[in-house]
Structure 1
Amino acid sequence: MAIRKKSTKSPPVLSHEFVLQNHADIVSCVAMVFLLGLMFEITAKASIIFVTLQYNVTLPATEEQATESASLYYYGIKDLATVFFYMLVAIIIHAVIQEYILDKINRRMHFSKTKHSKFNESGQLSAFYLFACVWGTFILISENYISDPTILWRAYPHNLMTFQMKFFYVSQLAYWLHAFPELYFQKTKKEDIPRQLVYIGLYLFHIAGAYLLKFSLWAVLFVLGRLLTLILSVLTVGFGLARAENQKLDFSTGNFNVLAVRIAVLASICVTQAFMMWKFINFQLRRWREHSAFQAPAVKKKPTVTKGRSSKKGTENGVNGTLTSNVADSPRNKKEKSS
């Protein structure tokens, strides 16, 4: 038997299959353009907007920090360029995890196509959630949110952020924005696209809202569970910010602490948590029904008469072990009796 050689033909350049097979390399080349731009004086000013965090403010040293000054950040339109660059980085990391971890597990486990796509989605999200939870926990500890939760609403608006806080927001936005082109790169089924668009949009809505409204709350919300999320949201937005002195809408100072905004924020959080719990409960109920249906006894089927020598004894003794009148009066029985 001749051995079939693998096809070495590559798809045409810039074709659909070429982009899908080599999207990580293409994105890596685009990211390298911005990094190489930092090496030349002519392009450095443009490239630095994409690579580094913008809107840096250096505050003078206080009595507690007599040795060094504090470097803080605020947000602006240039952050879109930074988010775009780190969206490219997220696509590259996604491809690395897929090729060197998930694909190897898939080849060993021999999953079906449906389980293969679900495993890839769950594996990518698990890696991101683990990384983000560790990073978020570090922010909670370093920013003293655990020891003093009143920082969340005290001295609002929080116009300035530390480097790690702003980088956390930029990374979160970049990751969830990269999920849109990944729907194309991973050949997501059409019936799965609406479901993924819903939770991608919800994450972007809440992260961008917390970032733009200067609520340094998402790092806490990401780490805690659904119930603690609601409790902390009501405590921060419903009680803490409601008792603040300045409750006037002021775009110049970035103060959004007004009743309408607080109600909108609480409503969006509550609706999102309720939606996620509803999806979770429906998923568990569906699994319970499938498990119950699988455990239920199978319906008895009618016996089928098979042809051949092995079935003659069964037919001679009747159906289901009962003696029929046809068998009792068969010609062979009468002939044997007469002899």
Structure 2
Amino acid sequence: LTRLGLILLLLQYLAEFFFHMARLVCFTDENNEKLFNVWAVVFVVTRLFTLTLYILVIGFGLPRVENQALDPERGNYFSFLFNNILFRMSVLLLVCLFQASVMWRFIHFQLRRWREYWNEQSSRKRAAAAAGTKQQAKALKRDSGYHENGVVKAENGTSPRTKKLKSP
């Protein structure tokens, strides 16, 4: 199981490396979040790979071990305690529950981050649209005539308003 532990540590440290590099890049340039997306992908792949390795090693690999009996001459004191179906399934259950809780927190964090991003983008669009309509409204008022002493005066002797027809 030493090799399994080394592989899992390598995967975990790889995900942590991307996370810390993304934070460093974010400190230098707050608009650059591409490494956070890379970290998110590596994090999810690491969790899935961890689950796969645990299932393969604990679920399928340990039952095939040849020496599962108590053998003090070989130094095999505890394999009969740890290599039974009850212990293996409880370890698998604990690992799956832990990985599921980590992924649950990660997914909620990502969803909250994406919601904040989309809310910020939509508020920017709304502010830009409101500013655009105000500018258009001001331009329309100015185009209809010119202002003199607070009163709109028509150009070329035309009235800015249409006259109502009087009925006979």
Structure 1 length normalisation: TM-score? 0.24
| Greater helix proportion | 2
Q: Which has the larger radius of gyration?
A: 2
Structure 2 length normalisation: TM-score? 0.45
